[in-house]
Each structure stands twice: as structure tokens, then as C-alpha cells.
Amino acid sequence: MSLSDTLPLQPPPARRLPHLGTALLLGLGLFAALAPILATVDPARQDYGAILAAPSAAHPLGTDHLGRDMLARLGSALRLSLGLALLSVVTAAIPGTLLGILAAWRGGWTDRGLSTLADMVLALPGLLLVLLVSAVVPGSFLAIYGSISLVLWIEYFRITRASARAILASPAVEASRLLGFRPAYIVWRHLWPELAPVLLTVGAFGAATAIMAVAALGFVSVGLRPPTAELGLMMTELLPYYAEAPFVLVQPILAVFLLVLALNLVAGYRPR
């Protein structure tokens, strides 16, 4: 009997389009990496002779209202969003997962104390917490990154704690304990194979949440400051020119849409 057969929780059905999500994510990452090679100009360099210019050989994706090259700015904004999302997810995943395993393993006061701490953080809506921190320290990358990580670790903790409690109570883990195997063996042999697909799903959704949060902060002008190339900030700056240059405005919107779509398609993937 496998460990999965002993668990009361049934895994969610696998998504059917993980490869499309992975391909989209790799394509966006490749575009962000190659943008400095394809567009040699600085993303903040202004050219008042080419304001809201249509796509051309000099500017393949056109220019914005200050004559800045959209290819360079879009690549810089994608690198910023992807980097911040990856950093926030990793920073939240490590303590959240370890604390979730600790709470499930020790139980008692340790479990109650950590669960109370998580409930206290959850008492304030996540986006509101990020918004408050960003308003107190406007334009700070560290403040945005820290507040997003502070919100994201809760999901890792709660899901890891719930899953680990069921796994640790299974006959397979009890047998390993009776045979004298060390905790590191139990974590590696029993916990990690069951937790990894769940954590991958949480990580993909967490990255999408981080990207949406940064874009939302930029859109309401409490996130990163100009002339930083950030997708939400670019939308706000280009919105007054939607009639003159709709092609330019749609680029950051499409980038956010494709990023979130790719991460949602990747979420829930379980290798067979």
C-alpha cells in the first residue's frame, strides 16, 4: 500500500495545460532576457522627436509619451516583475514550509502558537497590508518585496501544516518511526514527495499574486516611482494616450495578462 492510499485527502485533479503555461513563461522570460540585446537604448532615455511613435526599425514596439523605447521598457518591466515574484515566493516558501512542518510535527503549544501568529497576520487583508506598507515607504523595492513575502508565507504554512499532519499520522510514517528512522529520513521519504506538487501549485499562485500586487500598486501610484519601468506604472502613464496610441497601451496590459495566465496554467501540475 502506498502512502497516498493511506491519506484521507485526495489530491486535486491535474491541470491539462501545464506545457502551454511553461512555454508561455519561458517565452516571456526569454523576451525579458534578450530585450537589452534587441534594444540597446536605456529604458529611461527620452527622445522628444519620437513621441508615441509607431513601430519601426529603430523602435520595434514603438515609443511612449516621452519618446522612450517600449521594447527596452517592456523587457525591463518583465525582468522586474519576474525577479520580484521569484524572490518573494522563495522568501515566503522557506519559512512557511518549515514552520508548517514544525507545527504538524510538534503539535501542542508550538502548533497553537504558530497558528495564532498566522491568524494574526491573516486578520489584515493581504493586499491592504501591502498597500499600507507601500504608502508608508513609497517607491521602496524592499518595502514592496518584504510586505508581499510577509503575506505569502501564510499560505505555505497553512497548507504544509494541514498536509503534514495527515501524512505524519499515516501507518507508513508510524512504521518508519518504529524502525528507528531519523526525522530527516521521514521528511525526505514521506513528507517531501507529497508536499512538493502542492508547494509548486502554491508557488505558482503566489508568483501570480505578487505580479498582480506590484502592478496594482503601480497603477494606483503607490508602488515604484518613475522613471522605473514597471507594468502597472506603465499602464497609468499611457492611459491618457489610449486614443492616440492604443498599440502602446495594450503592451503592458498584455504582458500582465500573459504572465498571470502562464502561472495559473502551470499551477496544479502533478507529474505522472
DSSP assignment of 186-230 equals: HIIIIIHHHHHHHHHHHHHHHHHHHHHHHHHHHHTT-SSPTTS--
pLDDT tens column, 245-260: 899 999 999 999 999 9
User: Comparing C-alpha atoms, which of 259, 248, 222, 252 is closest to residue 52?
Assistant: 248
Task: Measure the CA–CA gap between 171 and 5, rounded to whole angstroms.
Answer: 10
> Could you check whether the bond before residue 227 is cis, i.e. omega within 30 degrees of 0?
yes
Reply yes or no on whether the pLDDT at 12 is more than 70. no
Give per-residue burial for 145-170: e unless 16+ CB within 10 Å, then b. bbbbbbbbbbbbbbbbbebbbebbeb
Task: Measure the CA–CA gap between 144 and 23, rounded to whole angstroms.
Answer: 28
pLDDT tens column, 163-213: 999 999 999 998 988 888 888 899 999 999 989 989 988 999 999 999 998
From its phi and psi, is residue 52 left (phi > 0), alpha (psi between -120 and 50) or beta?
A: left
Task: Measure the CA–CA gap between 65 and 218, rounded to whole angstroms.
Answer: 17
Q: How confident is the model at residue 3 (pLDDT cuts 50, 70, 90)?
A: very low
Task: Count the residues in the chain.
Answer: 272
Instruction: Identify the residue with better confidence: 244 or 271.
Output: 244
pLDDT tens column, 74-101: 999 999 999 999 999 999 999 999 999 9
